[in-house]
Amino acid sequence: MALPNPEQFHKALRALKNCPRHRPGLHRTDVFLQAEELYREVDEELQREKLLSLWRRYGKLAIAIIVIALLAVGGYFGWRYYQQRQARAAAFAYAAAQETLQKGDAKQAGQDFAGLASGSGGYAALASLRLAQVRLGADDTNGAITILDQLADNGSADPIFRAVAALSSVSLQIDAGDPATLRARLQKLIDAGGPWRFNAREMQALLDIRTGNLKAAEESFDALSSDADAPQDLQSRAAELRDALSAKLKAEPSTNPTPPATE
């Protein structure tokens, strides 16, 4: 059965209310009461139909948006919780490996540090540095250099750890490594302007000494000794090396003597 038109009921109600027999103060007839009740039912039915129509059109979309929002928020906090748990686990594992090393079990400590180094984050970088230290303690210089170079080339690692690894690798090769290669790596650290640039400049001067360019080394140490931004201990060390080189250069005969004047 089709639902009556509510507009018809409005008209019927207005007509009944205006009827003399049904003015305020008079008793309403059963017809008027039934009409008013029927109108309420029709109006409620229409409201339900509107709600159902809106739900069919927008309800599923609204639920999808809410679910996506909840998943996004939950995923964010879940990831933070996971990271915090992982960081705590890595901290405990690193401390345990460090304690094992202090007890003298370098082999086991090396295995523990290697496991941590294979991960990511700050403790992975620290573990790589410690693992290189363990390799050096076992007279495996090449193994230590390989580990340090891997960390230095790891783009996801913290720049500070990468710089330390690069500087440590160069220092282990300063006596026998290819001078051009080592100088290029040191120059990158200098150009980056990080806190280790002064140490890189110092190593470049040491590389000059190794290759016999004593005058360049003296000038580099002199510049470092007067650089107010350089650490105080490095300034002092550079001044001592500069003075030692100056004395050596004065004591040695010039490799390029001034030619005698011609008449």
pLDDT for the residue 90: 84
Give the integer Cα–Cα distance in Å for 66 and 36: 41
Predicted confidence band at 94 (pLDDT cuts at 50, 70, 90)? confident
Predicted confidence band at 232 (pLDDT cuts at 50, 70, 90)? very high
Q: Is the pLDDT of residue 5 over 60?
A: no
Q: Is the pLDDT of residue 246 over 70?
A: yes
Give the integer Cα–Cα distance in Å for 32 and 30: 5
DSSP string, 118-140: TS-SHHHHHHHHHHHHHHHHTT-
pLDDT for the residue 195: 85
Give the integer Cα–Cα distance in Å for 105 and 115: 16
Mean pLDDT of the chain: 77
- Residue whose structure tokens are 């059109």: 57
- Could you report the per-residue pLDDT of 164-202, keeping only the tens digit for each? 899 899 989 988 899 999 999 999 999 988 888 999 999
Question: Lowest-confidence range among 82-91, 142-151, 208-217, 253-262?
Answer: 253-262
Residues 6+ apart with CB under 8 A from 126: 94, 116, 161
pLDDT for the residue 259: 46
pLDDT for the residue 34: 52
pLDDT for the residue 79: 56
Q: Is the pLDDT of residue 44 over 50?
A: yes
Question: Lowest-confidence range among 9-13, 155-159, 206-210?
Answer: 9-13
For 124, other C-beta atoms within 10 Å of its C-beta total 21
Both structure tokens of 138: 């076992």
Give the integer Cα–Cα distance in Å for 210 and 176: 9
Torsion of CA 239, 218, 163, 235, to 10 degrees: 10
Residues 6+ apart with CB under 8 A from 167: 189, 196, 199, 200, 203
From the DSSP assignment, how many helices (H) and strands (E) are in the chain?
A: 11, 0
